[in-house]
A and B are shown apart, each in its own frame.
Chain A
Amino acid sequence: MGTAIAGLGLYKKTPRTSFGVFASVLKARLIIISRYKGSLIMELFMPIVFAALPIMLGVSLASGGTPVAENWKISSGTADFRAFMLIGACTFSVVSLMTWLVGFWVRREMVTGTLESVWVTPAKKYLVIGGVTGYALIRAFTAFIISFLIGSLIFGVNPFQGNILIAVLFIMIGLLPLWGISFMFGALILKVKEANSLINMLQWVLAFFMGVYFPVTVLPGFLRYVALSFPPTWMTNGVRASLLEVGYFFEHWYIDLAIIFVFAAVVPLLGYMVFMRTEKRLKKNQGMGLY
């Protein structure tokens, strides 16, 4: 402990200290959000509201004599449009939270003037970002489970139908590419700064292409390929297929899961690379902390 690592002050890079950095950031974020209980409750009800809007439309059409369930089955493979919408809205909430929480963390640190200070600490940046994204993962996954259960109760959906284990696997693995996407959002915020509306818009782009309210198979040719290049599309369809048996893109769950694995291996690395490149460029020019 006598000599410090060059350039790192008294910080000594060991697995224990590395985990300490990760855990401290994670803990700090969790403590901060625990002070905003209203936001947490709101977060749980948001996907339910999103699901409610098209469900209500479907219900009213059905009560008017339109064979809504039959029509929905023809296009999606299931007559249970309520469950279909609820799963879509809950997975969208996961995507939205992951991208927003990481992106907004960068912005918040900029606004409060602490981004540069965080950056000059001798801790590895990927550990700091890892802590933030780990926090986002915990929050998003918890929100998904609770929202889905409450939504199921409200809309009369059986939450325990289908193969739950495979559905959980799709969510868990599907969250990893989101990690990478959230890095890219973080990079975008570093560059554009006041990017709230841009992030909002990009979230709706994701919502559109991941098929929150409809199966992506109804999209015209080119748009369908664009949709399939988004990892969240695979996650959403994987969860729906395992719970509602709407059919996997490649017929078997393990092939779809393998595709998500590929995304999970490539997208986080790509995202981190984009983030670090943006950061490097900024450091060479105006600096990181500029509001």
Chain B
Amino acid sequence: MKSGGTAHRGFGYSDHSRKQNFFTFLSMTKKQVIEFSRYPISFVAEFSQVLLIVGMFMFAAIIFIGEGGAGLPRIAGIMMYGFVLNMFLIFVLWEIGFSVREEQYRGTLESLYLSPVNKFSNLTSRIFAIVVWTVGMVGIALVVVNYYVGGLPAENVLLALFLLFFSITGILGMGFMAASLILRLKESANLLLNVLQFFFMIFCAMFFPFSALPPEILNTVTRWIPLSYGVDSFRSVLVGQSPELMALEWEIVVVVLFGILSPIVGYYLYRRGERKARLKGTLGEY
């Protein structure tokens, strides 16, 4: 039933049309942006932090290669392109996972769930602003490093953007899965997110080539994580080298499948986790 005299069963006056879903998404995004805008210091601090981390790695890489050593742009490319995906992963994991936790903390999660709005729009709106912000941040970091090393390699930018898009949607799915766990873990969420962040940082070889990982780890852990193929293919097509894990065509297939399936599976798991929490009555519990 459309909005009018009679309410939609269970949804109050909400009509759940595409228009309403879009406006839910828009309103929640606006709320996030307003919240961010109240902490301008955080913006500056986060950006400076990114540059400092990149700077530390760059100094180490320069010493490794040696005075006048060749190949700095390539090494910088390997680090920076892995770093791009790492940034998206960290921000999505923390933002989706933690914003759900924050709503629990403030005591507003239950009220939001009682409102007759689309849950998916509610969840995705939490990361839209942060994804846009991350794009800006990594963009500037890339420009700075590009200038510093005298040109980062950028071979097949279009294909790289295509791979980046599907890697990000895949990461979103991982964010949904993390959020479902956080609903259950509550105060241990911090720990979980830290563990996940470091796990992927090391086992998806985000700051170094995959060849640095011992073959046992490469075969038993790394090759089983779809995101590894996202890192490998994105980095390879930009640096202009052969992928390390498997042939590029197959890596593209894995990344596209990851980008499509991960949000579906992730959202399904989130809804399951949320349903369990509602049945137990622990959704809004701190």
Residues B150-202 near A (CB distance < 8 A):
188, 190-191, 194-195, 198, 201-202
Nearest-neighbor residue (CB-CB) of B198 within chain A: A49
A36→B194 CA distance, assembly (Å) = 14
Please classify how large the interface on chain B is, using the bins under 10, 10 to 19, 20 to 34, 35 or more: 35 or more
Contact call A192/B208, Cβ cutoff below 8 A: no
On whether the beta carbons of A213 and B202 are closer than 8 Å, the reply is no
Residues in A23-63 with C-beta less than 8 Å from chain B: 36, 38-39, 42, 45-46, 49, 52-54, 56-61, 63
Partner of B61, one of A57, A59, A85, A192: A57
Find out whether the CB atom of A201 lies under 8 angstroms from the CB atom of B60: no
A189 at the interface (CB under 8 A from B): no
Measured CA separation A134–B168 after assembly (Å): 44
Q: Which partner residue on chain B sits nearest A205 by CB separation? A: B52
Q: State which residues 23-58 of B face A: CB under 8 Å.
A: 39, 41-42, 44-46, 48-49, 52-53, 55-57
Tell yes or no: B65 within 8 A of A by CB: yes
B147 sits at the interface (CB 8 A): no
Q: Which residues of A contact B61 (CB under 8 A)?
A: 57
B56 touches A200 (CB 8 A): no
Closest residue on chain A to residue B66 by CB atoms: A71
Contacts of B52 in A (CB 8 A): 201, 204-205, 207-208
- Give the residues in chain B near A66, CB-CB below 8 Å: 64-66, 69, 71
The binding surface of chain B is classed by DSSP as: helix
Most buried by B among A53, A194, A200: A53
Binds B, one of A72-80, A114-122, A234-242, A258-266: A72-80
Is A67 in the interface zone, CB < 8 Å from B?
yes
B209 beta carbon closer than 8 Å to chain A: yes
B45, B63, B65, B195: which contacts A201 (Cβ < 8 A)? B45
Q: Does B209 lie within 8 Å of A60, measured CB to CB?
A: yes
Are B39 and A57 in contact, CB atoms less than 8 angstroms apart? no
Minimal Cβ-Cβ distance residue in A for B207 = A53
Binary A-proximity of B9-21 (CB < 8 A = 1, otherwise 0): 0000000000000
Let me know if A63 and B211 touch, CB within 8 A. yes
Once A and B bind, how many residue pairs between them come within 8 Å at the CB atom? Answer: 121
Task: List chain A residues, Cβ under 8 A from B216.
Answer: none
Give the contacting residue for B207; candidates A38, A56, A75; CB below 8 A: A56
B41 touches A198 (CB 8 A): yes
Check A204 against B208 for contact (C-beta < 8 Å). no
B70 to A, closest residue via Cβ: A66
Q: Does B92 contact A (CB under 8 A)?
A: no
Chain A residues near B205 (CB, 8 Å)? 56
**B212 contacts A57, CB within 8 Å?**
yes
A204: contacting residue among B53, B60, B69, CB under 8 A: B53
A95 at the interface (CB under 8 A from B): no
Taking residues whose C-beta sits less than 8 angstroms from the other chain, chain A's interface range is 35 or more
Contact flags A201-213 to B (C-beta < 8 A → 1, else 0) = 1001101100011
A56–B208 touching, CB < 8 Å? yes
What CA separation (Å) do A164 and B57 show in the bound complex? 28
Question: Which of A57, A196, A198 is in CB contact (< 8 Å) with B60?
Answer: A57
Q: Tell whether A68 is near chain B: CB-to-CB under 8 Å.
A: yes
Tell whether, in the assembled complex, residue B63 and residue A214 are in contact, meaning their CB atoms are under 8 Å apart: yes
A36 to B191, CA, bound (A): 10
A286 at interface (Cβ–Cβ under 8 A)?
A: no
| Chain B min CB distance to A71 (Å) | 4
Are A72's CB and B63's CB within 8 A?
A: yes
Give Cα A154 to B42, complex, Å: 36
Q: Are B60 and A54 in contact (CB under 8 A)?
A: yes
User: A45's contact among B49, B53, B55, B198, by CB below 8 Å, is which?
Assistant: B198
Partner of B208 from A57, A81, A195, A205 at Cβ < 8 Å: A57
Bound state CA distance, A46 and B190, in angstroms?
Answer: 14
Given that A39-B191, A208-B55 are contacting pairs, would A67 and B66 also be in contact in the complex, using a CB cutoff of 8 Å? yes
A290 at the interface (CB under 8 A from B): no
Say yes or no for B249: interface residue by CB 8 A criterion.
Answer: no
Instruction: Return chain A residues, CB-CB under 8 Å to B60.
Output: 54, 57-58, 85, 213-214
Asked, given contacts A57-B60, A63-B211, A212-B56, whether A198 binds B66 with beta carbons under 8 Å apart, the answer is: no
Instruction: Give B149 Cβ to nearest chain A Cβ, in Å.
Output: 15
Answer whether A71 and B69 are a contact pair too, CB < 8 Å, given A52-B202, A53-B207, A214-B60.
yes
CA gap between A53 and B64 in the complex, in Å:
13
A72 to chain B, nearest CB (A): 6
B45 touches A197 (CB 8 A): yes
- Given A197-B45, A214-B56, 4 new contacts (CB under 8 A): A57-B61, A61-B75, A71-B63, A192-B41
Q: Mind listing 8 A-B residue pairs with CB under 8 Å?
A: A38-B188, A53-B57, A57-B79, A75-B63, A198-B45, A200-B49, A212-B56, A213-B59
Chain B interfacial positions (CB closer than 8 Å to A): 39, 41-42, 44-46, 48-49, 52-53, 55-57, 59-67, 69, 71, 75, 79, 188, 190-191, 194-195, 198, 201-202, 205, 207-209, 211-213
